[in-house]
Structure 1
Amino acid sequence: MIPFSILDLSSIVAGSTATQALRNSLDLAQHAEQWGYNRYWLAEHHNMPGIASAATSVVIGYVAGGTKTIRVGSGGIMLPNHSPLVIAEQFGTLESLYPGRIDLGVGRAPGSDQATARALRRDPMSADSFPQDVLELMNYFQPDDDTNPYVHAVPGEGLNIPVWILGSSLYGAQLAAMLGLPYAFASHFAPAELMRALHMYRTRFKPSAYLAEPYAMVAVNVVAADTDAEAERLFTSVQQQFMYIRRGKSIQMQPPVDDLTTLWADYELAGIEQVLGCSAVGSPETVQQALANLITQTQADELILTAPIYDHKARLRSVEIAAQVRSALAAQEAVADLH
């Protein structure tokens, strides 16, 4: 059965703090490790009051230091915000501290609005050099062979740190295919181009020293509870979050509500349903069927799950149910193989 992983934004919920959000992230990572998840990724966003993982490399070190075996990485680092050398040094440091456990997923989006991009000193045209920046970054991890006698990433040079291309459009799929790198698609908030991007990545993939065959990871929101009704209520927190973003306002994650139609117009709700279309919400049976369908549809090599839930205990329960669902799917697959 394909691996399941976790994508975490270290959500700061209404009435709480960044400190508690980060502690919750570590707690979730420790549980995910026990439940057999493959990797735990954190994402870079800026100027968002509901997200505590802006200093992504720092949070990765915190989570890796509090776990033992699970891979920890970025989903992702928004590379145009940074010097490739600095990212190579940061992840070289992480890999030196936690060898064999660090992933580096990179994207070209700002992870912020335009005003924040300026505050980050980001060049408005920096996204245009993303392919060159990825190549520069990867070159810093190469062993010293005298091709660049002037600039070395220390730590970083000669370390085996997997680089992933992240994307929500066809651009990242083409770049990952061209460079022969693993690819992760952000279908948890941008599902429209998922199937086209996967097809493009797989058909154009060029084997490389990093990867012999294409490897695609698909992101999906999973909100699981003991009943469909309970899960659907929990899901209203992330629905509210995206609704506020569409209205131009980023806020902390709100408590779930019984009826979203009392808060938002029908046309707004329809738009959110489209954005969050790649979601598995419901009881264990409902989530199992939804994830089985997604795996069949996408032929994903790995799923990376988000758990956008207001209450931390409910979030833990959702991630535990998803791990149980994976075991059930694996058992079904084993039975099918016998026949």
Structure 2
Amino acid sequence: MINSGLRISLLDRSRTRAGEAEPAALHGTVARAGQAERLGYDRFWVAEHHAVPGIAGSAPAVLLAAVAGATRTIRIGSAGVMLPHHQPLVVAEQFATLSAFAPGRVDLGLGRSPGFTAPVRRALRQTDRDFAADLRELRGYFDGTSEVGLHPRPDGPVPLYVLATGTGLRIAAELGLPVIVGGPLLGVGGDPAPGLEALAGYRRAFRPSPQQPQPWVAISLDVLVADTAAEAADLLLPEAWAMARSRTTGVFPPLEPVAAMRTATRTARQQQYLEQTMAAAVAGTPAQVEHMLAELFDRTGAAELVAAGSTFDRAALAASDAALAALFDRP
């Protein structure tokens, strides 16, 4: 069992599936949140993507309202809202409203990723923004220090989190905010040294804040569990193939069945990207995944796992979620 003091959460991007109407992805997200609550997960996150064919999750605050209505105890949050796409006051009002319906359960994770393509960036009216200044402004609405009042006033705090890259880690340290890190910073399937140095820099530079007196790190990556390592590798294929397609064709497609993945024709470059995506995930039997996660927690000093895995087969994904939850010793 993994230490009971560590948190476990799910990140669901509302992935669409071939042959399925796109709204089904949103209903699947809400259903998965209910299962996560029953399984004892600490938190359930959703994300923001715009005009991506393979993702239906474009409006985190709206989707979280549905999640809030389908759950009672699990914390819910965004991982994240892309702040350059929004005015900070509007984000604060959305999450204050959400908190009114789920008091004490709402977390606001914030990132700064650009739109998926140039036309999307134009549609979002995206311009160069000062992410640190926007974070400060947003925090001012919640803590009551802004000259503009926030209504409704939340009954309790709405904690802020930063989805961090190298620059994001520096900004989070300056503002005294917790971070969620993933991808290359974790060094899974590659060299962990740069990520470890970046995390050490965040901890050294951290300035305590009323929300966060000490540095705090969550790690986010694809995690899938199955009875055998081969079955777990199969579960990874649909997402890995979608990533390979997006990096070679510019189109991020819906998830397809594993059987189609096995017979798909791939270029050498697509095969390379597919293997890279699979190497950066944690997948295997319960014992294998437990060992890999324990090593990651030990190496990064993280306090929470944000498991972001997805696959075409919803029943297989539900079984993976249950197997992952069973690895964490709940008090």
**Residue 309 of structure 2 aligns with which residue?**
307
- Taking the aligned partners of 1:275 and 1:196, their CA distance within structure 2 comes to 23
What is the identity, as a one-letter code, of the residue corresponding to 2:133? Q
Aligned-pair distance for 1:114? 2.0
TM-score by length of 1: 0.89
| Secondary structure of the corresponding residue to residue 103 of structure 1 | strand
**Residue 142 of structure 1 aligns with which residue?**
143
Answer yes or no: is the 8 Å Cα contact 1:189–1:275 preserved in 2.
Answer: no
Aligned-pair distance for 1:262? 5.6
1:71 to 65, 70, 75: 75
What is the identity, as a one-letter code, of the residue corresponding to 1:286? Q
TM-score by length of 2: 0.91
Mapping of residues 117-136 of structure 1, within 5 Å: 117-123=121-127, 125-126=128-129, 129-136=130-137
- Taking the aligned partners of 2:271 and 2:262, their CA distance within structure 1 comes to 8
Alpha carbon RMSD of aligned pairs, Å?
Answer: 2.1
**Residue 32 of structure 2 aligns with which residue?**
28
Aligned-pair distance for 1:195? 2.3
Aligned-pair distance for 1:156? 4.1
Answer yes or no: is the 8 Å Cα contact 2:37–2:73 preserved in 1.
Answer: yes
Compare relative contact order (CA 8 Å, sep 6+) and give the higher one, 1 or 2: 2
What fraction of aligned residue pairs are identical, expressed as a percent? 36
Aligned-pair distance for 1:272? 3.6
Aligned-pair distance for 1:277? 3.7
Answer yes or no: is the 8 Å Cα contact 1:188–1:220 preserved in 2.
Answer: no
In structure 2, the CA distance between the partners of 1:250 and 1:304, relative to structure 1 (3 Å rule), is same
**Residue 254 of structure 1 aligns with which residue?**
256
2:139 paired with 1:152: no
CA offsets, 1:24-64, max 9 Å, x none? 11111111111111111101001111111101110011111
What is the identity, as a one-letter code, of the residue corresponding to 1:170? G
What is the identity, as a one-letter code, of the residue corresponding to 1:280? V
2:87 paired with 1:83: yes
**Residue 161 of structure 2 aligns with which residue?**
164
Aligned-pair distance for 1:241? 0.8
Answer yes or no: is the 8 Å Cα contact 2:104–2:156 preserved in 1.
Answer: no
What is the identity, as a one-letter code, of the residue corresponding to 2:95? F
Answer yes or no: is the 8 Å Cα contact 2:100–2:155 preserved in 1.
Answer: no
In structure 2, the CA distance between the partners of 1:258 and 1:225, relative to structure 1 (3 Å rule), is farther
What is the identity, as a one-letter code, of the residue corresponding to 1:252? P
Q: Which moved more, 1:62-71 or 1:265-274?
A: 265-274
| Secondary structure of the corresponding residue to residue 141 of structure 1 | helix
- Taking the aligned partners of 1:43 and 1:188, their CA distance within structure 2 comes to 19
**Residue 169 of structure 2 aligns with which residue?**
173
Q: Which moved more, 1:211-220 or 1:272-281?
A: 272-281
CA offsets, 1:143-170, max 9 Å, x none? 3x6x61xx22212467511000112x21
Answer yes or no: is the 8 Å Cα contact 1:141–1:158 preserved in 2.
Answer: no
- Taking the aligned partners of 2:184 and 2:230, their CA distance within structure 1 comes to 21
| Secondary structure of the corresponding residue to residue 168 of structure 2 | helix
**Residue 295 of structure 1 aligns with which residue?**
297
Gaps of at least 5 residues in structure 2 are none
- Taking the aligned partners of 1:293 and 1:278, their CA distance within structure 2 comes to 14
Mapping of residues 178-327 of structure 1, within 5 Å: 178-187=174-183, 191=187, 194-247=195-248, 248-257=250-259, 263-327=265-329
Aligned-pair distance for 1:259? 6.6
1:47 to 32, 47, 51: 51
In structure 2, the CA distance between the partners of 1:292 and 1:111, relative to structure 1 (3 Å rule), is farther
Answer yes or no: is the 8 Å Cα contact 2:103–2:156 preserved in 1.
Answer: no
- Taking the aligned partners of 2:186 and 2:217, their CA distance within structure 1 comes to 16
